[in-house]
A = this chain, B = another copy of it.
């Protein structure tokens, strides 16, 4: 009976108080014919010692690799303090802060988080997080439609993360929202603002602008933002928060700034961990705040006028508004945001900038190095942040296999996502890659590619 403290004596006394003869009797309101709960396919319990050994063995089997895959999930150094504090029981095992007086730890931290994210994105306000970057985009689209009122059309460029686009479609399709894909320039790997006009003929609720885009390429965000605003549409920025330490924040794009900024918070102190849990962030202009889904923390005072923090704007939420809520979302990714807030505090503005700058510099270094290998060249001409697509002179799956055999995960094959991009590798570098790592990648790849000359 792991985790159950009851002694036989306890059970007897408790049943006596209830007036029941057995625990089974407490289930007497369940129709007997339904009691079929035989868990024949659940294995017997293990001790902690046994499961510890099993999990260690499985972890060992998975091993470690020198990783150059990015594509929406990025390997950054995470200070040891981040998770040692985040997994303290008081953060780890508490619930949503419904009783504000007993949850000031989480509430103040979330308020600090909102402050950081609002500044990082250049927006007025931030919520306390959503599930992940992809669902945050979908929520932003729903929000834009609610705000725009007359159009249910969302323009999304083909340079946006392919999975994000799939998630967006899956979520909004039941609400009669149309997702229109905008083409991109295969040469530069960017959306060309001049080619947008056909899509703006008809009214649309919002234009999605990814920065950097899925190819790692930087979009012409100012022009795109102003174009959409001229059409009385909203602009939804999808951004890598780490890049914002270097790049113009969405709130400053074009003349008026993007209206909503969303993205994947993972680069801010969250381990790769096979894809989750991460967290989506969402920030917006002040006038949109009541359309924003998810938890929002506000500062207030107590009876003695001392400052404190509470969940606020709950009138938007499903437990009050039920079928009229802005979203069905109730949890955020609280623990991940705890980690991200501690991460940002430890890095500070200059630290975050250096991490971003080094990630970027490493990409330039790597691309330069790899382009010296015959047959390797950049797939796109646009400026990049810390990720770039490279054309390879041979079958990419075979090349990736060969790299893996030497302990290197060389990047992502783009073919599965963009059939036109055959033998194209999306490589990513973060600050974790040393000059030795970059050299090793170059050398190993060079040797592998010799056979395709």
Hey, which bits of chain A sit against chain B, CB under 8 A?
A: 47-49, 52, 56, 60, 64, 77, 79-80, 84, 87-88, 431-432
Is B77 a contact partner of A52 (Cβ separation < 8 A)? yes
Q: Closest residue to A52 on the B side, CB-wise?
A: B77
B432 and A49 contacting across the interface, CB-CB below 8 Å: yes
**A431 — which chain B residues lie within 8 A by C-beta?**
49
| Closest chain B CB from A436 CB (angstroms) | 11
Cross-chain pairs A/B with CB under 8 angstroms, 13 sampled? A47-B77, A48-B77, A48-B79, A48-B80, A49-B77, A49-B431, A49-B432, A52-B77, A52-B80, A56-B64, A60-B64, A84-B87, A88-B88
B residues less than 8 Å from A84 (CB atoms): 87
Give the oligomeric copy count: 2
Chain B residues positioned under 8 Å from A60 (CB to CB): 64
In the assembled complex, the CB of A161 is this many whole angstroms from the nearest CB of chain B, namely: 27
CB distance from A90 to the nearest CB of B (A): 10
Q: Which residues of B contact A64 (CB under 8 A)?
A: 56, 60
Quote the shortest CB–CB distance from A78 to chain B (angstroms): 9
The 7 nearest A-B residue pairs measured at CB: A49-B77, A48-B79, A49-B432, A88-B88, A48-B80, A48-B77, A52-B77
Which chain B residue lies CB-closest to A49? B77
Q: In the assembled complex, which residues on chain B have CB atoms less than 8 Å from the CB atom of A56?
A: 64
Inter-chain CA distance A64–B52, complex, in Å, is: 14
| Complex-state Cα separation, A87 to B87, whole angstroms | 11
Q: Which residue of B lies closest to A47 (CB)?
A: B77
Most buried by B among A52, A60, A87: A52
Q: Which residue of B lies closest to A85 (CB)?
A: B89
- Within the assembled complex, what's the spacing in Å between the Cα atoms of A84 and B87? 9
Question: Shortest Cβ distance from A210 into chain B, in angstroms?
Answer: 28
Nearest CB in chain B to that of A87: its residue: B84
Chain B min CB distance to A186 (Å) = 37
Q: For residue A90, which residue of chain B has the nearest CB? A: B88
How many Å from the CB of A248 to the closest CB on chain B? 27
| CA–CA, A52 and B431, complex, Å | 14
* Closest B residue by C-beta to A57: B64
CA of A60 to CA of B431 in the docked complex: distance in angstroms? 22
A77 / chain B contacts, CB cutoff of 8 Å: 47-49, 52
CB A87 to nearest CB in B, in angstroms, measures 7
User: Residue on B with the closest CB to A81?
Assistant: B48
State how many angstroms separate the Cβ of A9 from the closest Cβ of chain B. 16
A435 to B292 Cα, complex, angstroms: 58
Chain B residues contacting A52 (CB-CB under 8 Å) are: 77, 80
Distance between Cα atoms of A432 and B48 in the complex (Å): 11
Q: Smallest CB–CB gap between A105 and chain B, Å?
A: 14
Residues of B within 8 A of A48 (CB): 77, 79-80
Q: Give the complex CA separation of A60 and B65 in angstroms.
A: 13
Known: A47-B77, A49-B77. 11 other contacts (CB 8 A): A48-B77, A48-B79, A48-B80, A49-B431, A49-B432, A52-B77, A52-B80, A56-B64, A60-B64, A84-B87, A88-B88
